[in-house]
Amino acid sequence: MIDVNRRAFIEGTGAALAYVATAPTVPAFAQSTTSDQHTTTVSLTVNGESHTVAVEYRTTLLDALRDKLGLTGTKKGCDRGECGACTVHVDGRRVLSCMSLAVMQNGRSITSIEGVANGPTLHPLQAAFIEHDGFQCGFCTSGQIMSGVALLKEARSGWPSAATADVTQPFSREQLSAYEIRERMSGNLCRCACYPNIVAAVVAAAREG
């Protein structure tokens, strides 16, 4: 048995702690020998155009759209899937792009706010937002419109919501009340509180078919 007295133990422990405190540390992300180990290429069809972009595996779809393709209409609000400002369509269905990795969308068709209009002709919902003053600062507007466009498509396809009285029956467009719209748009937040005007815009667009 090694005889270690109290003073020797304390001195030895102190020296070890001092070394640990002053020793250089290497961040985890810097330990890789090559940056290529963390990147890959993905093929995305965005607003009808094909793109091949190099991204890190952790790059979100939101950051790929904004930083790689320059499509800054899709906004980064909360960056945690709570506000809906980053809503886009993936294969026709609405997705929170801040919560989806770009590599997950390889080969898929994506529509951002830049692809909603038909050339110079606005989508009926875009026109309705202008007519009904459905925005103030405008930061959430692209996400609101993307969600609203998807909402109209879902309603036409007969999808019920949590506000639908009888979910066992196909949903009809005539059931798309303000109450239904508020429920279906509840994932999109507006700090300016333009909700009544947003609902009015969706109602108007729904009437146009």
3-state secondary structure the chain: CCCCCHHHHHHHHHHHHHHHHHCCCCCHHHCCCCHHHHEEEEEEEECCEEEEEEEECCCEHHHHHHHHCCCCCCCCCCCCCCCCCCEEEECCEEEEHHHCEHHHHCCCEEECHHHCCECCECCHHHHHHHHCCCCCCCCCHHHHHHHHHHHHHHHHCCCCCCCCCCCCCCCCHHHCCHHHHHHHCCCCCCCCCCHHHHHHHHHHHHHCC
Interval 34-56: pLDDT, tens: 456 789 999 999 999 999 999 99
Same domain, residue pair 63 and 94: yes
Q: CA–CA separation, 155 vs 166, rounded Å?
A: 14
User: Do the domain assignments include residue 163?
Assistant: yes
Same domain, residue pair 98 and 135: no
Same domain, residue pair 135 and 80: no
Whether residue 167 is predicted with pLDDT greater than 70 in this model: the reply is yes
pLDDT of residue 169: 85
Same domain, residue pair 107 and 128: no
Q: 69: domain CATH number?
A: 3.10.20.30
Domain count, the chain: 2
User: Do the domain assignments include residue 44?
Assistant: yes
Same domain, residue pair 65 and 131: no
Same domain, residue pair 106 and 129: no
Same domain, residue pair 108 and 128: no
φ and ψ at residue 97, rounded to 5 degrees: -70, -20
Whether residue 18 is predicted with pLDDT greater than 60 in this model: the reply is no
Same domain, residue pair 110 and 129: no
Q: 177: domain CATH number?
A: 1.10.150.120
Of 95, 88, 93, the closest CA to residue 112 belongs to: 88
User: Do the domain assignments include residue 74?
Assistant: yes
Whether residue 6 is predicted with pLDDT greater than 80 in this model: the reply is no
Domain that holds residue 196: 124-207
**Domain final residue pick, 84, 115, 146:** 115
Same domain, residue pair 98 and 150: no
User: Do the domain assignments include residue 201?
Assistant: yes
User: Do the domain assignments include residue 3?
Assistant: no
Same domain, residue pair 64 and 82: yes
Same domain, residue pair 135 and 84: no
Whether residue 112 is predicted with pLDDT greater than 50 in this model: the reply is yes
pLDDT of residue 173: 80
